[in-house]
Amino acid sequence: MDRTLLDFWVGLFVTLGIAALFALALKVSNSEGFSRGSTYTVVASFNNIGALKVRAPVKSAGVVVGRVSAIHFDNKTFEALVSMQLDSRYTFPKDTSASILTSGLLGEQYLALDPGGDSHNLVNGDTIKITQSAVVLENLISQFLYNKASDSGNQNNGGGAAKAGVKP
């Protein structure tokens, strides 16, 4: 084959391949947008974190403002310690509360920040005091069933007593 034609086709192929890679990088992936920008770390402790994972989003008013960077177990207080990296573009008051919520009914869990009214802001290394743990579905269901069971138990007992009353 003619050399210039060969060069042309190979050039086209390589350009196409690199263009596909660029398209994958720009159009398909998020290139980890702001995790490269400057961040500050804040810690919060929870009784139960449910299924929260590292790299889960931290949202405030529905907007992603950071990511969970590490999850540890504190062996003194027996609570979960969640460290999160927040974008330094966003500041929150000292008395901000953190809660673990679920996106949708079966979606993944995320950390929600609810800003308070303090005039001082959270800085690097601070701890969020007010936290609300994840809702564990099994506990909810068992509580519900327990209530149901005790209700029907009361009714049965009442019925039994009435019957006993009728029969001499």
Partner 1 sequence: MKPNNLFSRIGRLSLNSITRLGTATRFLLQVLMRSGTSWRRFQLIIREIYSSGVLSLIIIVASGLFVGMVLGLQGYQTLQTYGSAQSLGVLVALSLVRELGPVVAALLFASRAGSAITAEVGLMKTTEQLQAMEMMAVDPIARIVAPRFWGGVISMPLLAAIFSMTGIYGGYLIGVRLLGVDDGTFWSQMQSAVSFREDILNGVIKSTVFGFAVTAIALFEGYDAVPTAEGISRATTRTVVTSSLAILALDFILTAFMFRGA
The residues that touch partner 1, with contacts defined as CB under 8 A, are 1, 3, 6-7, 9-10, 12-14, 16-18, 20-21, 23-25, 27-32, 53-55, 106
Nearer to partner 1, 12 or 130 (CB): 12
Nearer to partner 1, 32 or 138 (CB): 32
Contact 88, 65 (CB under 8 A): no
The conformation of residue 121, written as its DSSP 8-state character, comes to: B
| CA angle at 78 for the pair 77 and 84, rounded to the nearest 5° | 85
Cα 17 versus chain centre, distance? 37
**Least distance from C-beta 14 to partner 1, angstroms?**
6
**Least distance from C-beta 142 to partner 1, angstroms?**
25
E strands within 16-104?
Answer: 39-46, 57-60, 63-74, 79-87, 97-102
Contact 140, 50 (CB under 8 A): no
**Least distance from C-beta 43 to partner 1, angstroms?**
21
Nearer to partner 1, 62 or 168 (CB): 62
**Least distance from C-beta 163 to partner 1, angstroms?**
48
Nearer to partner 1, 91 or 102 (CB): 102
